[in-house]
Amino acid sequence: MTVVGCVIPAAGRGERLGGPLPKALRTLRGMTLLEHSLRAISAERDVAEIVVAAPVDYVAEIRAVADSSAVSATIRVVPGGAERTDSVRRGIAALRSDPDVILVHDAARPLVPLEVTRRVIAACEGGAPAVVPGVPVTDTVKQVDEAGRVVRTVPRSDLRAIQTPQGFHAEVLAKALEISSETATDDASLVEQLGVPVLVVPGHHDALKVTRPHDLMTAEAILRKRQVDHVR
Ligand code: CTP
Ligand code: MG
């Protein structure tokens, strides 16, 4: 059986969201974004171990959330780093179960549906070394220069907005993190630099990243709809 471990980078400040607390500790319908994310990921029973990278000055608070969360997977909390990639590095170094497949999931994506996590793991198990969930882009995307002038319009049908959890064969991710000194907004881009193919599987709009206050409102609406659907 495949051993699946998960790293949750949760060490960001949440500057674009604002407010006094780091984003992972902000609540959505009375529950922290971190606990939502822990529950969402561990809904996949194959995930046996989770490491959370916490803001260095909030390790105790993050640990308290992890300890009190209604999650059966083993959770370990480590201090994160200055950049997301540093937090992921520290998280991976703390995995103890020698996983075959490593998922990396943003704490800031609290509502990722189980089907997305399953799709990512299944593609990794099927032999893909790196797998990311993605959704079609609905806005027209233009590349601009420093003066704000349009350089070109990127054909939209070629574009995907990439989400998490991203899944990797453990040795591929370890190698990418070891070789690259760069930081990146996702982990697959480090793997791409190795020349390793990255597969995109369908994501889900519920897996949105809570970045700005408006995203919290969207997430609340998704949760409300889930409750209504559940009662019906
Ligand atoms: N992250 C992290 N360590 C960092 C920076 C980010 O673990 N040094 C995590 C965040 O906690 C989040 C995920 O990476 O779960 C995605 O980052 P982002 O949405 O940019 O979150 P923040 O960096 O917290 O937000 P902002 O950029 O607005 O400050
Ligand atoms: Mg950030």
How confident is the model at residue 198, as a pLDDT? 98
What pLDDT does residue 183 have? Answer: 80
CB 142 within 8 A of CB 154: yes
- Residues around ion ligand 2, judged by CB within 5 A, are 12
For 18-30, how does the pLDDT look when each residue is reduced to its tens digit (9 = 90+)?
Answer: 999 999 999 999 9
Task: Tell me how far the alpha carbon of residue 126 lies from the centroid of ligand 1, in angstroms.
Answer: 30
| 146-197 residue pLDDT tens | 999 999 999 999 999 999 999 999 999 999 999 887 888 899 999 999 999 9
Token pair of 5, please?
């471990």
Query: What pLDDT score does 232 carry?
Result: 79
Q: Tell me which residue of 36, 13, 163 sits closest to 87, measured CA to CA.
A: 13
Alpha-carbon distances, residue 122 vs 75, 97, 100, 212 (angstroms) = 23, 19, 13, 32
- Of ligand 1's listed atoms, the one at least distance from the Cα of 88 is 7
C-alpha span between 221 and 90 (Å, rounded): 34
Task: Please tell me the predicted confidence (pLDDT) of residue 10.
Answer: 98
- Atom 6 of ligand 1, nearest CA residue: 12
Interval between CA 13 and ligand 2 midpoint (Å)? 7
Check residue 68 and give its pLDDT.
Answer: 94
Tokens of 13: 């400040």
pTM of the predicted model, to two decimals?
0.97
Which ligand gives the minimal distance to the CA of 87?
1
- pLDDT on residue 143: 96
Q: What number of other Cβ atoms are within 10 A of residue 48's Cβ?
A: 16
pLDDT digit of tens for each residue in the chain (232 aa)? Answer: 899 999 999 999 999 999 999 999 999 999 999 999 999 999 999 999 999 999 999 999 999 999 999 898 999 999 999 999 999 999 999 999 999 999 999 999 999 999 999 999 999 999 999 999 999 999 999 999 999 999 999 999 999 999 999 999 999 999 999 988 788 889 999 999 999 999 999 999 999 999 999 999 999 999 999 999 988 7
Ligand 1: residues with CB < 6 A are 9-16, 23-24, 53, 80-84, 87, 106-108, 209, 211
Which atom of ligand 1 lies at the shortest distance from residue 81's CA? 8
